[in-house]
């Protein structure tokens, strides 16, 4: 079985645990060890500092690394601090960027339509999947985002174990929500998800370098689900979402 | 051994695995399903885990009830399950009755943080540790931060024949890890487990590099969490085969006298 990681991060973090591999070649070593063929990657400078500069840094960092595809961090262009929709479309097309990552809590902006209408309108029109960490919009906020933008495919990453009862009703209500499997570790979490929702809404990711690729791969390999479901989770679903992007 | 191949097979592994940190009983905040002995044994079969050492309940409420529930499962699955008797600082109960109740009980579980944020070295727990000391029993201790590890170290010094298994702290924060390294160097009757819901690749390798692999025991914290992710984390780590074998089973056999 081959894996494609729908979300990992590059760049030097402000703080990192002892032995944490954060350099790009270390990330690539782990990917190889875990048989992960490719990954969508964003840059920590874009996520935690200068968004546009960080996105540029990312492009330079992965220019010679075919396994890594760029994921750009995005925020509303309210103060022209980020690209407006037309320019964003051109820039993404030019640079082969097919997904965006938002962080409304960290970037301190509303995720509601009065603030995000332009960006989310672009994502809906171009079928660009939008990623965000669960902590950026937990619980009811997750529902609000998915409900406010029904034509945008959202992938939540960096989830946790005590999530089942929060997540289920949102999945019921919002067909545009996808779950990144990295660190989704409730007991029998993937089996329960497949039984009640469907494997086609699960997207393999690692959350590297803060997350564990070895754990993420193991979760899928040992899940008590069919081989076809595992293939969808491991790579099929993200490949389908990426294939639907129209820039 | 090609551990990665075992993981990718997604079938029960054929190397020995002894899990020293399993929860018997549901934690309603975590897992919306059954979590008794039958469920644990079923999950063990899916992964190929040979023995699970269980703590009663997810936390520490109504310890008599949960000790009894676990005892029933130990009776039913004597070759698969072992148990720790839950102790409490709020009741000077004699743990001996549980060891008489079931031969599957092999040690004590101390989690006073969940029993009113009592310290691990609270004097109300000393009789229990003294009991473990007299009988040379393992005590699985829930820790997270450095003060809890340091309190465990004080107890390990005070009761040198008891064998303390420090849960979680090998893979939490920097201060806790350092306290554990110091404690394990100071006290040969301290070990640790691999249980953690979320950590990064490389964390276990770093810790083993500091203390060696002889006192690191495989623990998953399942059924609180899914049981497969720790298995893969150890199996596909950069540790040597010998280190993996020690962590997966050899250390537990020695430490728990299985």
CB contact under 8 A, A218 and B227: no
Model confidence at A32: pLDDT above 90: yes
Model confidence at A231: pLDDT above 70: yes
Model confidence at B161: pLDDT above 90: yes
Res. A247 pLDDT band, cuts 50 70 90:
very high
Provide, as residue numbers in chain A, all residues whose Cβ is less than 8 Å from the Cβ of B8.
Answer: 1, 35, 217, 221
User: Mean pLDDT across the stretch A184-213?
Assistant: 95
Fold of B3-255: TIM Barrel (3.20.20)
Model confidence at B29: pLDDT above 80: no
Buried b (16+ CB within 10 A) or exposed e, A205-226: bbbbbbbbbbbbbbbbbbbebe
User: Mean pLDDT across the stretch A59-87?
Assistant: 96
Res. B60 pLDDT band, cuts 50 70 90:
low
Domain residue spans in chain B?
A: 3-255
| Mean pLDDT (chain B, rounded) | 93
Provide, as residue numbers in chain B, all residues whose Cβ is less than 8 Å from the Cβ of A39.
Answer: none
Model confidence at B173: pLDDT above 70: yes
CA dihedral A185, A236, A47, A72 (to 10 degrees): -170
Model confidence at B154: pLDDT above 90: yes
Class of domain A3-243 (CATH, top level): alpha beta
Cα nearest neighbour of B178 on chain A: A18
Mutating which of A19, A37, A190 best tests the B interface, going by the most B Cβ atoms within 10 A? A19
- Give A1→chain B minimum CA distance, Å: 7
Provide, as residue numbers in chain A, all residues whose Cβ is less than 8 Å from the Cβ of B236.
Answer: 33-34, 214, 217-218
Cα nearest neighbour of A183 on chain B: B198
Q: Which pLDDT score, from 0 to 100, does residue B59 have?
A: 66
Res. A164 pLDDT band, cuts 50 70 90:
confident
CB contact under 8 A, B30 and A162: yes
Q: Give one DSSP letter per residue of A59-125, joined into a string.
A: HHHHTT-TTEEEEEE----TTSSS--HHHHHHHHHHHT--EEE--TTTTT---SHHHHHHHHHHHHH
- Give B199→chain A minimum CA distance, Å: 6
Model confidence at B61: pLDDT above 90: no
- Give A231→chain B minimum CA distance, Å: 12
Model confidence at B242: pLDDT above 90: yes
Model confidence at B33: pLDDT above 80: no
CB contact under 8 A, A186 and B31: yes
CB contact under 8 A, B199 and A212: yes
Q: Which pLDDT score, from 0 to 100, does residue B57 have?
A: 81
Q: Give one DSSP letter per residue of chain B, joined into a string.
A: --HHHHHHHTS--SS--EEEEEEES--TTT--S--SHHHHHHHHHHHT--EEEEEESSS-TTHHHHHHHHHHHHHH-TTTEEEEEE--TT----THHHHHH-TTEEEEEE-GGGTTS--TT-GGGHHHHHHHHHHT-EEEEE--SHHHHHHHHHHHHH-TTSEEEEESGGGS-HHHHHHHHHHHHH-TTEEEE---SS--TTHHHHHHHHH-STTEE----TTTS-SHHHHHHHHTSSS-HHHHHIIIIIHHHHHTT-
Res. B93 pLDDT band, cuts 50 70 90:
confident
Mutating which of A15, A159, A167, A222 best tests the B interface, going by the most B Cβ atoms within 10 A? A222
Q: Which pLDDT score, from 0 to 100, does residue B34 have?
A: 77
- Give B133→chain A minimum CA distance, Å: 34
Of A185, A188, A208, the CB nearest to B229: A185
Res. B32 pLDDT band, cuts 50 70 90:
low
Of A17, A218, A230, the CB nearest to B203: A17
Res. B6 pLDDT band, cuts 50 70 90:
very high
């Amino acid at each position: 079985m081959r894996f494609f990681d729908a979300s990992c991060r590059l760049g030097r973090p402000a703080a990192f645990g002892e032995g944490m591999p954060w350099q790009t070649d270390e990330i690539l070593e782990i990917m190889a060890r875990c048989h992960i063929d490719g990954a969508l990657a964003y840059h920590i400078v874009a996520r935690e500092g200068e968004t546009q500069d960080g996105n540029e840094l990312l492009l330079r960092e992965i220019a010679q690394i075919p396994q890594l595809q760029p994921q750009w961090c995005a925020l509303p262009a309210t103060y022209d601090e980020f690209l407006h929709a037309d320019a964003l479309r051109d820039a993404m097309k030019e640079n082969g960027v097919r997904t965006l990552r938002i962080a409304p809590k960290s970037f301190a902006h509303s995720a509601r339509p009065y603030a995000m209408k332009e960006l989310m309108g672009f994502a809906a029109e171009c079928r660009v999947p939008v990623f965000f960490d669960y902590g950026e919009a937990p619980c009811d906020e997750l529902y609000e985002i998915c409900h406010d933008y029904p034509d945008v495919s959202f992938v939540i990453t960096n989830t946790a174990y005590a999530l089942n009862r929060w997540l289920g009703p949102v999945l019921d209500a919002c067909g545009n929500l996808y779950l990144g499997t990295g660190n989704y570790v409730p007991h029998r979490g993937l089996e329960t998800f497949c039984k009640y929702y469907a494997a086609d809404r699960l997207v393999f990711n690692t959350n590297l370098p803060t997350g564990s690729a070895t754990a993420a791969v193991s979760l899928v390999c040992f899940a008590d689900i069919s081989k076809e479901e595992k293939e969808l989770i491991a790579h099929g679903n993200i490949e389908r979402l990426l294939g639907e992007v129209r820039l | 051994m090609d551990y990665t191949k075992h993981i990718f097979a997604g079938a029960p592994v054929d190397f020995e695995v002894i899990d020293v940190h399993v929860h018997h009983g549901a934690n309603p905040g975590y897992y919306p399903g059954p979590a008794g002995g039958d469920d644990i044994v079923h999950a063990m079969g899916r992964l190929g885990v040979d023995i699970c050492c269980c703590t009663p309940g997810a936390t520490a409420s109504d310890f008599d009830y949960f000790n009894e529930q676990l005892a029933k499962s130990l009776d039913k699955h004597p070759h698969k399950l072992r148990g720790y008797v839950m102790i409490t600082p709020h009741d000077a109960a004699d743990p001996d009755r549980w060891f008489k109740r079931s031969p599957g009980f092999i040690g004590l579980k101390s989690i006073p943080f969940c029993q009113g944020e009592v310290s691990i070295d609270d004097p109300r727990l000393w009789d229990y540790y003294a009991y473990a000391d007299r009988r040379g029993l393992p005590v699985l201790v829930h820790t997270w931060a450095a003060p809890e590890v340091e309190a465990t170290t004080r107890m390990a010094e005070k009761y040198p024949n008891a064998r303390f298994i420090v849960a979680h702290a090998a893979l939490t924060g920097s201060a806790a890890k350092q306290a554990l390294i110091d404690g394990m160097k100071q006290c040969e009757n301290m070990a640790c487990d691999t249980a953690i819901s979320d950590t990064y690749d490389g964390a276990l390798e770093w810790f083993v590099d500091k203390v060696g692999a002889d006192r690191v025991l495989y623990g998953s914290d399942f059924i609180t969490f899914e049981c497969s992710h720790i298995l893969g984390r150890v199996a596909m780590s950069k540790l040597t085969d010998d280190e993996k074998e020690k962590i997966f089973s050899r250390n537990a056999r020695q430490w728990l006298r299985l």
